[in-house]
Structures are given as structure tokens and as C-alpha cells.
Amino acid sequence: MSDTNPETTPGTAPEPQNAAINPGSTVSLCIMSGKGGVGKTNLALNLGLCLRDMGHKLLLMDCDLGLANLDVLLGLTPEKNLQDLLGGGVEPADVLLHVEDGLDILPAASGVPELVEMDQNQRDALFESLTDLIKGYAFLLLDLGAGISGTVLALARMAQMRVVLVTPEPTSLTDGYAIIKVLNAKFGVRDFCVVVNQATAKEAQDTFQRLNMACKNFLGFELVHLGHIRLDRTLTQAVIAQTPLARFAPECPAIKDIRVLAERISHYREQNLEAISGRKALKEFLPGATARNP
Ligand SMILES: Nc1ncnc2c1ncn2[C@@H]1O[C@H](COP(=O)(O)OP(=O)(O)OP(=O)(O)O)[C@@H](O)[C@H]1O
Ligand SMILES: [Mg+2]
């Protein structure tokens, strides 16, 4: 895969590349993990910025409802959040935070336990209210909470692409397998991409093989290895500085790896535009129905 990194300077947003974009066809992609703290929110934010730098317009939604922290990574204090939208009387545009040209976020609330578990009616109402807004983006990225709550499973089921983030630690692997198994058992979902975080290429390959073998042997399907992200202490510094890594250190190893993931995901969107267009980004999605995995 070619390296198409734009020239970047720390702290500044590069001009988006002029990629061929069809904004009418939104691809929804969720980032999930069984185990908490494996790097989902940082991946969602930096993947979003890398896709944005490639010219895609995207919406990043903090779906870690009740324990949100996308805004914290950006050093922002949103006035309104998804909780206000659920409560009614607020328009989606009022909740939207403009981060950079081409990247908006929908922040969630923190410390609000009732948001962790939305029922079906609340989910329907939320996505109904977001339908028109979502249409304007090439990608809808969902940063899910860890674990297998009803909200996590419902959102993961509805997304067109599912990225399971694991680390080489055995606990992360068993929890990653658990979330795949539950989604398969409950909803028949069989298409998952895997990203191995905090790993060398060799560790990532070994980790992926173990997870893939378990799925092949016990669930009867295989996974797609989307890539890996190296362990990179710069990420911790970026979190402390409340500046996304893609802007804090745009040429550090972890961002180079995330850029490769962004290129693969962008390629997937282009390959599957025909299948994707005409389908709502979240509702009406039949798992594995039409689009191919990258
Ligand atoms: N590639 C990496 N290299 C070094 N540290 C990392 C890497 N990825 C994640 N981390 C560390 O893991 C921490 C947790 O990351 P993050 O908040 O993105 O995880 P999460 O999966 O969203 O957590 P939660 O399940 O609580 O939502 C980061 O603050 C950072 O210190
Ligand atoms: Mg998180």
C-alpha cells in the first residue's frame, strides 16, 4: 500500500487532499472492544483525522454514552451533548461540534448512568433524529463503550463495518472473542475487522492468528486483519496535552500505522460505494448482506 502522507507540521491541520468523494453514501464504522482501555477512543479520533486529511467528510459520534471522553481528548467542553438530544427540544445541529473542516463530532455525556443503556425506542428516536445529518458525511465513526451492553451490541450490529480492537494481552483477546461470539450468536453477524493495538507487526500477526483460529474453529467464519498500531509513548503525551496525536506528532509511528488503516478503509468505501449508496448508514442494515470486507 502506498504511503500518501500529506506534508504535516505538528499542531496544524493540513489541507484535505482532493479525494473523489461521494458524500451521499455514508459508511458507518464502529470501533469496539471487549476489554476497556485498549485504545478505542484514540483510534476513533485519529482515524477520523487521517480520513479527514485524505479529503473525506466525517462525523465522529461518541457512543460511550455515560462515560464519554472524545471531547476530553480534544480539550473541548461541549455545551450540549447526545443526552440533550435524547431529552428533546434540541436539534442535532445544536449538539454538533465542529473540530476542523471536514470533521465534526457528536459528544456524549459523562457520569450519566441512564445513558449507558438506551432501550430500543430511545435508539430509534436518536437515529431518526440524526438521519438527515448523517447523510452529509462520507463516514460515520462510532466510538463504542467497552463490553457487551445492549447499547454496544445494538450499535455494533447496525454499523456497516465493525472494527474489533485488541492488544496482544490474553485478557484483551478473550474479551475480543467474547464480543464477536455474542454478536454472532444474537444477531448472526459474521463480518468483523481486527486491529491489533500496542503491538509490533509480528505480535499483531500472532494475535490476529489466535483470534482468527478461535473464530474459524468455534464460530465457523474468519476475520479480516485490517492492520496494527505500534506501542508509541507519544500517544500518552498527546492525551496529556489534550491534542489528538495526528496533530500533536503527525509523523510518529502510531499515526503512520493509523494512516495505513485509514487508506484501507477509504479503499473499502470506494470499492463498495454501489452497495452502500441507497442504504441508510445505520438502520436497515443486514449484516454481511452486500458489501465486501476490505
Ligand atoms: N498505540 C498505543 N501506544 C501507547 N499507548 C497507547 C496506545 N493506544 C492506547 N494507549 C494508551 O491507552 C490509553 C487508553 O486509550 P483510550 O482511552 O483510547 O482507550 P479506550 O479503549 O477508549 O478506553 P475505554 O474502554 O475506557 O473507552 C491511552 O490514554 C494511552 O495511554
Ligand atoms: Mg473510550
Confidence check: pLDDT of 279 > 90: no
Question: With contact defined as beta carbons under 8 Å apart, do 202 and 233 qualify?
Answer: no
pLDDT value at residue 68: 82
pTM: 0.89
Output the CA 82–ligand 1 centroid distance in Å: 23
Distance CA 146, CA 149 (A): 8
Q: Give the pLDDT confidence of 21-77 residue by residue, as tens digits.
A: 344 588 999 999 999 999 999 999 999 999 999 999 999 999 988 788 899 999 999
Output the CA 222–ligand 1 centroid distance in Å: 26
What are the cell numbers at 273? 460505494
**Which SS3 state, helix, strand or coil, does residue 58 take?**
strand
In angstroms, the Cα distances linking 34 to 38, 66, 140, 144, 289 are: 9, 17, 21, 10, 25
Output the CA 235–ligand 1 centroid distance in Å: 8
**Which SS3 state, helix, strand or coil, does residue 163 take?**
strand
Residues whose beta carbon lies within 6 Å of some atom of ligand 1: 33, 36-42, 64, 146, 197-198, 229, 231-232, 235-236, 239, 254
Instruction: List, in order of start, the domains of the chain with CATH numbers.
Output: 27-276 (3.40.50.300)
Ligand at minimal distance from the CA of 165 is 1
Output the CA 64–ligand 2 centroid distance in Å: 7
- Give the containing element (helix H, strand E) for 87: helix 82-87
Q: Give the pLDDT confidence of 177-202 residue by residue, as tens digits.
A: 999 999 999 999 999 999 999 999 99
Atom 2 of ligand 1, residue of closest alpha carbon: 231
Our measurement of the distance from residue 239's CA atom to the centroid of its chain's CA atoms, rounded to an integer in Å, reads 18
**Which SS3 state, helix, strand or coil, does residue 57 take?**
coil
Output the CA 197–ligand 1 centroid distance in Å: 9
Ligand 1 atom nearest the C-alpha of 64 is: 27
Q: What is the number of residues in the chain?
A: 294
Higher-confidence position of 64 and 105: 105
Ligand 1 atom nearest the C-alpha of 229 is: 1
